[in-house]
Structure 1
Amino acid sequence: MPLAEIPLSVWRTRAQTFNFNNHRIHFWSAGQGEPLLLLHGFPNASWDWHYLWQPLMQRYRVIACDMLGFGDSAKPLDHDYSLQEQADLQQALLQHLGIRQPVHVLAHDYGDSVAQELLARHHEGRASIASCVFLNGGLFPEAHRTVFIQKMLLSPLGWLVGRAFSRDTLVKNVTQIYGPDTRPSESQIDDGWSLIDAQGGTRVLHKLIAYIPERILWRERWVTAMQQAGVPMRFINGAVDPVCGAHMLERYRELIDNADTVLLPTIGHYPQTEAPVQVLKHYLAFRGQLQPSRRILVGV
């Protein structure tokens, strides 16, 4: 049975805000139980989790925000964005909500890197992570295959590329990383574009893209954190994603002992919107056992 969609117009009415370093951040929090922090990707926003939101909030206290520079949160032009600061933001949000117990994390893409930093802080005693599940993302920069638009945003002309970024650019560069049978509808593309374009968001894309070289800078710190025991992890991977698909899962299994992995054979870069029922099933199974597994599970 498909999961109910939360329309973007409804999602936005449920937003709350708080101040982070003098910037207004939009966040969502619902449900009761153990806290579950959802971390979105680039260039998206927390609305990416809308299919999973209601079933997860029936079991956990679910928390998500549009990170600085994304979605409906502040997008300051004269700002150097960093993954370290985004990790600070997540911790500030948890503090704002009065959450002091260990937090479970479910992350995607850009959010994977934020989750890796939170794992490193956990091992340093500066954060408290109960478990971490990754969806498709550049966990290991040597296995990440950068798409053309990312290369252009990283170039000296990135500021100009960002300003020229349009809905048509989004369609051309993003829909190609979906599975062949799970591409977004026109209305979903419209909604995704509205979140990117909100508050002049295309003017900061070339600054946000700095996360790609940051992944190289922090690789050893983050991979070491993932290799340390104590925090259960799972990697749910859309296999046909040309950026971080099955090849990223193979690298994960090479570097992580007793790797707990789930392969979704026909799914692309966005498992949470392409195959939310499967992601929910595999996430709840993980939470039910919280034990690493050596096998690859093949989604149905």
Structure 2
Amino acid sequence: MLPPSVAEWRGGGTLISTPGGRVFVRSAPGDGPTILLLHGYPSSSYDYHQLVRYLDGRAWVTLDFLGFGLSDKPRPHRYSLLEQADIVQTVVAQAASGPMVLIAHDMGTSVATELLARDMQGQLPFELQRAVISNGSVILNRASLRPAQKLLRGPFGPILSRLSNESSFVRSFGRLFSDGHPLTEQEGRAQWALWSANDGHRIAHLLISYLDERVRYASRWHGAVGGWPKPLSFLWALDDPVATTNVLDGLRELRPAATVVELPGVGHYPQVEVPEQFTRAALSLLSTAH
């Protein structure tokens, strides 16, 4: 049984069919341009369930990537960020209209940079006007990967996935949060319920292949960070133990003129830890950043 907050989030959404499977989508009408919210690993669109209340009447759309949250979790399947970008395009075509702006976190930042690269090539089928990137290991060699991430990428990944349980997940997930804004028991239960829905925790080793793609497509995606001709800014929580300030420094080098907002004393999930502060900062960046 899903926790009440997750059941409520599910109740407001719908499933959209894509070639890879059905994906869960939440959206709301409002003033434009529509805000597209992209989540990270190992979580889901639920990461934004507190944020959306602060969007001040803006239109928004978000989704659970294939393999995550309330979306289908096919196996065997070769999960790819390129496929996830295709899925985003399908969702935008069916659940949104008009120009879009983007907020991306964690794994979603690489989906975002693929969208930027497509836009630079004239291959993005919707108008993307601005983007905000938050706490993702975009430059992987600058990140501080967790031991579990390293193990899941290796030959013991399938074993680690089979051994996964709620207590180990919540303990590991909690380490991503800051001391000042620790993971709550309710949030931990919700995140586990979404991660383990349809036995999703058993495919953790398949889903984490996105890290290998960050290496494979580094030139393309780093080039998009530096070269996308529209406003792109960075919203960074400074106490993140994974996507550290070392990653942010690398992004500043790729795009020296980018506007940056720093959130001191906040961990890897700023949209969960300080949703109102995060949202206000993101909205400001989406209206003023160059």
Give the TM bin, normalised by the shorter chain: over 0.9
Aligned to 1:115: 112
Deviation string, structure 1 residues 185-210 (Cα, Å, up to 9, x no partner): 11110010000000010121100000
Shift of 1:80: 0.3
Aligned to 1:54: 53
Q: Which amino acid letter does the alignment assign opposite residue 121 of structure 2?
A: E
What residue ranges of structure 1 are gaps of 5+ in the alignment?
1-5, 293-300
How many Å separate the matches in 1 of 2:230 and 2:159?
42
Size of the aligned set, in residue pairs, is 284
The 8 Å contact of residues 144 and 244 in structure 2, kept in 1 or not, is answered as no
Aligned to 1:283: 282
Q: Alignment partner of 1:41: what SS?
A: coil
Shift of 1:89: 0.2
Q: Which amino acid letter does the alignment assign opposite residue 8 of structure 1?
A: V
How many Å separate the matches in 2 of 1:280 and 1:65?
18
Shift of 1:125: 0.7
Aligned to 2:259: 260
Deviation string, structure 1 residues 100-131 (Cα, Å, up to 9, x no partner): x3321101001001001000001011113211
What is the TM-score normalised by the length of structure 1? 0.91
Deviation string, structure 1 residues 221-265 (Cα, Å, up to 9, x no partner): 011111114221111111111111222211111221212111111
How many Å separate the matches in 2 of 1:215 and 1:113?
7
Q: Alignment partner of 1:81: what SS?
A: coil
**Bigger relative CO (Cα 8 Å, ≥ 6 apart):** 2
Aligned to 2:70: 72
Q: Alignment partner of 2:27: what SS?
A: strand
The 8 Å contact of residues 245 and 268 in structure 1, kept in 2 or not, is answered as no
Q: Alignment partner of 1:177: what SS?
A: coil
How many Å separate the matches in 1 of 2:241 and 2:15?
35
Aligned to 2:100: 103
Q: Alignment partner of 2:75: what SS?
A: coil
Q: Alignment partner of 1:199: what SS?
A: helix
Aligned to 2:92: 94
Aligned to 1:296: none
Aligned to 2:27: 29
Deviation string, structure 1 residues 123-150 (Cα, Å, up to 9, x no partner): 0111132111011001111211110111
1:155-170 mapped onto 2 (5 Å cutoff): 155-170=154-169
Aligned to 1:3: none
Shift in alpha-carbon separation, 1:240–1:19, aligned structure 2, 3 A: same
Deviation string, structure 1 residues 37-96 (Cα, Å, up to 9, x no partner): 10001010100001111222x432200111100001000111000000000000011112
Q: Which structure 1 residue ranges, 4+ long, deviate > 2 Å from structure 2? A: none
How many Å separate the matches in 2 of 1:48 and 1:89?
19
How many Å separate the matches in 2 of 1:181 and 1:98?
36
Q: Which amino acid letter does the alignment assign opposite residue 111 of structure 1?
A: G
Aligned to 1:251: 250
1:124-273 mapped onto 2 (5 Å cutoff): 124-127=121-124, 128-273=127-272
How many Å separate the matches in 2 of 1:91 and 1:244?
26
Q: Alignment partner of 1:7: what SS?
A: helix
Q: Which amino acid letter does the alignment assign opposite residue 17 of structure 2?
A: N
47-56 or 189-198, which deviates more: 47-56
What residue ranges of structure 2 are gaps of 5+ in the alignment?
none
How many Å separate the matches in 2 of 1:22 and 1:216?
23
Shift in alpha-carbon separation, 1:172–1:98, aligned structure 2, 3 A: closer
Q: Which amino acid letter does the alignment assign opposite residue 130 of structure 2?
A: S
What is the TM-score normalised by the length of structure 2? 0.94
How many Å separate the matches in 2 of 1:251 and 1:10?
39
Shift of 1:169: 1.5
How many Å separate the matches in 1 of 2:241 and 2:95?
38
Shift of 1:22: 5.3
How many Å separate the matches in 2 of 1:171 and 1:39?
22
The 8 Å contact of residues 117 and 228 in structure 2, kept in 1 or not, is answered as no
How many Å separate the matches in 2 of 1:59 and 1:245?
32
Q: Which amino acid letter does the alignment assign opposite residue 115 of structure 2?
A: L
